[in-house]
Each structure stands twice: as C-alpha cells, then as structure tokens.
Amino acid sequence: MNRAVAYACAKVNLGLKVLGRRADGYHDILSIFQTVDLCDRLIFEPAARGATEILCDDPGIPTGRENLVFQAVEALREATGTENGIRVVLEKRIPAGAGLGGGSSDAAAALRVLDGMWGLRLSGARLKGLAGDLGSDVPFFLRRGTAVVTGRGERLRYIPWQADFHYVLVHPGFQVSSGWAYRNLKIALTEASRYVNLLGSVQENGEVCADVLFTCLENDFLPLLKATHPEVDAILSALEASGASACSLSGSGSTLYGVFREGKQAAEAARGLRTRGYRVSLCRPKV
C-alpha cells in the first residue's frame, strides 16, 4: 500500500470520578468514554527506510519525539523489527490540551493503519499492549464506541448506545495539562453517588439509560477548573440557558460541553457561543 488515510475521533467523558492514587503513580478512574464525530485526519505515505516524519498544519503541535504518533511508529518498529519509513501528515481539528484525547486518538490511528500498511498482522492484544504503553487513553481509541472505563484507563467494557443526542463542545481558550490537573486535584473519599451507582449497574448488566446518565454526571476536575478559571461558570451558564439537558467537563479539561436533544437547539447554542469568541464544535456520538 502506497498511501493510507485515517480519521482519529475525539472522545467525550460522560462523567469522570477519580477513585485514588495507585502505587505505580497513576490514578484509578471510573468514567464513560464515547467517541464523537470531531476528527483529526491523518495521511500516511512511505518514506526513506527507518525514517519517521511528522508534518502538522497546527504549528502548536510538536512533530518530534514528543509527538504520540512519532512514539507509536517507534513502538511498532521496536516491537516488530521492521525498518519501514513513514511520513504522516496530520490535519488537526481536535484542540490540544482539551480533554478530548486528540493525541491519544492520533497514536491509536497510527498503530491501526501501520499494522495493516506494513503487513505486521499484530493481534488485538498485542496492539492494545503497545497502545497502553503509549498512554492510558490510547487503548480506547483502537476502536470506536462507548465504554465504561476503569483502572488507569486500560480496562474497557464497551456498551451499546442507542440514544440520539447532540453535543456542543466549547473550548474556553486555555489548555489544561493532565499532570497539573491531577497534582492539584483534592481527592475525597468517593461515596456511593448516583453516578458511581449507575456505572456499577452498567458493569453488571451491560446497558446504560442515557436519560438517567445525563441527570447524574459528575466530573471531579470541574470544581478545580471553576476555582482557577472564572470563564468556566459563564460557559456552563450559557449552555444551560440555551436548553442543554446536561453540562459537564471532558476529561481533566479544558473542553466543556452541553448535551442537547434537538439538533436545531444545539446549533443555536453553538452559534451563540461562537459570537462570544469561543471555539465551538457541534458533534454527535460516533459509535
């Protein structure tokens, strides 16, 4: 294959609880991840033997060894011994530092595409292992869908999703480092909240009622961002005033989102927030 094109979906966290710090330095979490139709586009082309070249239309994205796509290429080479070269053109549409998993999704796309492009034929378990070494969120992006996520993010239970909702994603104009967010998070003892109880029942029967889920969303990072960035409350208030059924934060931030039943209502909310100068994406689940 001389050339391949892939689309790397963003994800939203439909709630996020941090359960505690682990001995390995990571944190145990409880969340629902869902892919949405906001996507980066990646173009893969052969390059000189052993070469890795990343080109990106966003000057703020690093293209060297700190880039997760670069690391995914190197991980495949180290795991298989292949010396194939690759050039990756990365067209960014998912904001960086936004809690939407853009870098992780790009890395997963690279693993999937190069496994086929280079004829490696790695098992699903092998790819998942490589993905987990790259980052906690990367294994989720090896496929699309909705999953209850536990552990440090590597334990995935995919669940059916039939609900028809629209998401208005609002980037508030600042990035959030997940390292900073976890360092500054005040973790209290997690009681049996409605959200925790709901996800516990989902893990038992494999089904989730979206209407119930959206009445009890919790994200442990939201109070931290409200305390450090006053515009967060203003954005949430605007989403609520526009008729959102629920509002929350994706990941450790910075993207805020509103959940809407009607596409017209969601589009109107998106237009209103754009007039305030925010970067806004109107999305639907990609399952």
Enumerate the active-site residues. Answer: 11, 137
**DSSP state, 51?**
-
**Which pairs with CB-CB distance under 8 Å and at least 24 residues apart come from 269-275?**
269/168, 269/238, 269/239, 269/242, 269/243, 269/244, 270/168, 272/238, 272/242, 273/168, 273/170, 273/235, 273/238, 273/239
Provide the 10 A C-beta neighbour count for residue 204: 8
CA distance linking residue 164 with residue 263, whole number of Å: 10
Separation of alpha carbons 263 and 114, rounded Å: 36
β-pairing, 166-171 with 155-159?
A: unpaired
Phi-psi region of 229 (alpha: psi -120 to 50; beta: other; left: phi over 0): beta
How far apart, in whole angstroms, are the C-alpha atoms of residue 137 and residue 131? 8
CA atoms within 13 A on the CB side of 262: 6
Residue type, 137: D
Burial of 4 (0-12, 13-18, 19+ CB in 10 A): middle
Tell me the HSE value of 230 on the side-chain side, using a 13 A CA sphere. 0
